[in-house]
Structure 1
Amino acid sequence: MEELSTAARQYSRENAERFRLELHEMLRIPSLSGDPAHAGDIRRMAAWLDEHMRGLGLDNVAIMPTAGHPVVYGEWLGAGPDKPTVLVYGHYDVVPALMEDGWHTDPFEPVEKDGKIYARGATDDKGQLFIHVKALESYLKTAGRAPVNVKMLLEGEEEVSSPNLVPFIKEHLELLRGDVCIISDTSMRSIEEPAILHSLRGMTYVEIEVHGPTDDLHSGLWGGAVHNPALALVEILGKLYNADNTIAIPGFYDDVVPLTADERAMIAKTDLTEEQYKASTGVPAVWGDAAFNIRERIAARPTLDINGLWSGWTGPGPKTIVPSKAGCKISSRLVGNQDPHKIFELLKSYVASITPPTVTVEVRLITTGKPALFPFDIPEMQAASLAYEKGWGATPVFTRGGGSIPVVAEIADLMGIPVVMMGYGLDDDGLHSPNERFTIEMFHRGIETAIVYLEELARMTDQ
């Protein structure tokens, strides 16, 4: 088996330049899922992937419709039923990018500079998705077979919260059935410190609106006797946290799975000093629950953040009013085993209990996502660790991610399989920002690591 992966890795090196040029072709397609004007580009991107996978010898390749943008599917099942089946998930859609946002070069004309590929989608997620396509190609074009069965599930709506992916998975459970799901859409702190995420936070996102008078009022005539909704909102928000910076909502922490000593030791390996955090964020001081270190606060603990505020007059010059309403958007990042809908009900009930009788309040649920938490000592995770050691050239750390990828928990729940998040990007790759980039060396190291991972999974069944 090792001979297969050795030949595949050599093939990937010999074809490294072609692989990059093919990635450039993908990056030139502005597959913006959130802009109806680019619906044709989404279809063009799906067609490109369909044609490319057919050319590599995958079977049952198809562009499969959803209620929104299509899913591209392909499979290679030649390893047989006695070998594991890997479901590779990735997304081919991207977020908007304009020169006036601060790009140094055309975001949809890839440029290689200083060992990096600059383009929208370079690391999120076209480059990382393509790693798995090229790993499978490297096996098929050398040995004619891979050590395990592989299925590709490539969607076009991740950047708009994947509204049609769960219905698609439910409808095609048998087609997608596998033993483990691999997702490469995450990152590491530095090239020599690879990281495997075994947890992602979920999300409860709400909008709060406080109502006072029927219309905006003249502050000279009515101010002093009417409770200003903006003030009332601030009073409500001021009670969301306790003095020790913990969240004040009763029951909020009830379902949080405590960190084990092993987990805390693993997280500590990637912790940040206060100076590093201040340098990265520009804040004058670090804030949060002092019972946890910085990395634990931003990855392993739940949060409650005010994302936006609005009320009254914000145009030029004065306008002396008591506004009729005030509002805010709040996101709560959740960890296992918190339920996003339960958190919404707790938040809604608490806000109602602290709202002054002089105003009324409305709490609206905008979106939710489940948190995901997997043990890092399971065979599928340990196979990933060995793959990084052999293919990447460094021992990875298992860590928790502070962000949210809702499909991770959905796949785990619907299919009953672990999800291994093998990221190949860097934390400072500029995801969703101007001048997004992907380190060329990491692209090629990623392909070799993905090649070895398939070998290590097959080895699990031989033991």
Structure 2
Amino acid sequence: MAVKDYIRNNKDKFLNELLDLLRIPSVSADPKFKDDVFAAAEFVRESLDKAGADTVEVCQTAGYPIVYGEKTIDPSLPTVLVYGHYDVQPADPYELWDSPPFEPVIKDAPNHEEGAIFARGSADDKGQFYMHVKAFEAMMAEGNLPCNVKFMIEGEEEVGSDNLEEFVINNKEKLSADVILISDTHMISMENPSITVGLRGMAYMEVEVIGANRDLHSGTYGGAVANPINILCQMISSMLDENNHVTIPGFYDKVQELTDEQRKRLNEAPFDLEEYKSKLNIDAVHGEKGYSTIERVGIRPTLDVNGIWGGYMGEGAKTVLPSKANAKISMRLVPDQDWHEISELFENYFKSIAPDSVKVSVKTHHGGSPAVVSDSSMGYKAAEAAMEETFGKRPIPTREGGSIPIVALFQKELGTDPILFGFGLDTDALHSPNEHYGVKNYFIGIETIAVFFEKFRALSQG
């Protein structure tokens, strides 16, 4: 296969280009990285242009730009739309990284026999979306692009994709395609490839509990005036019961319950509980009573504190009652929960459980809808056949606990089920210090994507 030979002959080039992209600290959540986020968009534009796209443009939004590119070889052939994001999570805390997060290095890593690329964004999502750019380049270089292709690479996924919906709604014709590919998920393992068919949604909140009008001496006022940190901890604790059920009234009203047969099939995916605990260095798993670990992270909603702060946090001691305390709280949602509705339920409940001794405020940061995609579509069958060819094993359909807001948006506005074609592993430390992405994963991903184009064209033409 000429395309496969091209990939093999250009491994160093493909790898070095990804390392250059990873050196750009495109953190969308932190304004101090604004110029770097724009620089990453320009890098993507240049890469698509060099790879052979006919049209490439940086589309401005109210926030960070969306890079759009396309190559039409024959209007009668099927069209593949590729989605990805060039923004990354903050790298904090930097001191927990074994190497600087924006100075990528390749070194040994568990579950990666050919080493892994350690850098923020390596797996989420620069390493994964860039596979599509390189697969496109390889197909173009060998004169073997089986389908038309479009790219939409955004810069705000890690902060909720606030401006993406407007872009999609206003550009439906431009984005029209027969199938959508998204590589922003993971597989079970290299030995057990899988394709994600379900994602949880999310509602992300920030709360503040306010007591006195200033920090107070804990000796003079302690026991007489409310401590906002104590109150906040009590309120958060009350939002989960002894079975780890969320106590917000109405929270489970629209949760889509799976049948016993569906749950049985879900739990047939290879999973070693002892290995899972060992990798995380924990003695026991924790979660909603009555569900397996696979179910807890795939088909059940959650409520988790993502950050909490208040009072004195410097060196040494300072005996104060803080005037306020804050927390960031996220809820992972499942079909058919609506994140707007859940956000409102959370706000009403949080305010209702606050004692009169404090004031509270609640802010909704962002959210996204859960999604389930078909495992019988032509796109899924092409992805399944492509993975079976490159991995030598038929992939397993799985549900994943993460959230990708674009999936439900594509389903609603473009009427197309995206194929969640991820090649990372759940041990790749996404959103954590020492995030990494396997070198072998990167290259087998490029190869599999090229095979997908062949399989999809063949299926489309009967």
Equivalence map 1:246-265=2 (5 Å) = 246-265=245-264
Give 2:162's aligned residue: 163
| 3-state SS of 2:360 partner | strand
TM-score by length of 1: 0.88
Contact 2:386 2:455 (C-alpha < 8 Å) held by counterparts: yes
Give 2:445's aligned residue: 446
Give 2:124's aligned residue: 124
Cα deviation code 1:329-371 (max 9, x no counterpart): 2211111111111112222232333333444433332222222
Cα deviation code 1:390-441 (max 9, x no counterpart): 1232221111111122222222222221111111112222334444332222
Structure 1 stretches of 4+ moved >6 Å: none
Structure 1 residue 323 displacement after superposition: 4.2
- For 1:170, the aligned partner's letter is I
Contact 1:99 1:106 (C-alpha < 8 Å) held by counterparts: no
Contact 1:89 1:154 (C-alpha < 8 Å) held by counterparts: yes
Contact 2:339 2:368 (C-alpha < 8 Å) held by counterparts: yes
- For 1:56, the aligned partner's letter is A
In 1: Cα distance, 2:336 partner to 2:118 partner: 38
In 1: Cα distance, 2:286 partner to 2:460 partner: 47
- For 2:453, the aligned partner's letter is L
Distance 1:451 1:261, change over 3 A: farther
Q: How many residues align?
A: 456
Distance 1:204 1:50, change over 3 A: closer
Contact 2:51 2:134 (C-alpha < 8 Å) held by counterparts: no
In 2: Cα distance, 1:274 partner to 1:16 partner: 36
Q: 1:58 aligns with which of 50, 53, 60?
A: 53
Distance 1:332 1:47, change over 3 A: closer
Cα deviation code 1:151-182 (max 9, x no counterpart): 01112233333332222222322211112211
Contact 2:172 2:414 (C-alpha < 8 Å) held by counterparts: yes
**Greater displacement, 168-177 / 115-124:** 115-124
Among the aligned pairs, what percent are the same residue? 45
Give 1:189's aligned residue: 188
In 1: Cα distance, 2:129 partner to 2:350 partner: 42
- For 2:456, the aligned partner's letter is L
**Greater displacement, 221-230 / 323-332:** 221-230
| 3-state SS of 2:364 partner | strand
Higher Rg: 1
Give 1:79's aligned residue: 74
Contact 1:79 1:145 (C-alpha < 8 Å) held by counterparts: no
Give 1:93's aligned residue: 87
- For 2:200, the aligned partner's letter is R
In 2: Cα distance, 1:231 partner to 1:121 partner: 36
- For 2:151, the aligned partner's letter is M
Give 2:389's aligned residue: 390
Contact 2:51 2:137 (C-alpha < 8 Å) held by counterparts: yes
Note if 1:425 corresponds to 2:424: yes
TM-score by length of 2: 0.88
| 3-state SS of 1:205 partner | strand
Contact 1:79 1:146 (C-alpha < 8 Å) held by counterparts: no
Distance 1:273 1:315, change over 3 A: same
In 2: Cα distance, 1:418 partner to 1:289 partner: 30
Point out where structure 2 has 5 or more consecutive residues left out of the alignment: 109-113
**Greater displacement, 204-213 / 284-293:** 204-213
Cα deviation code 1:119-139 (max 9, x no counterpart): 443322222112112222232
**CA RMSD between the two structures:** 2.8
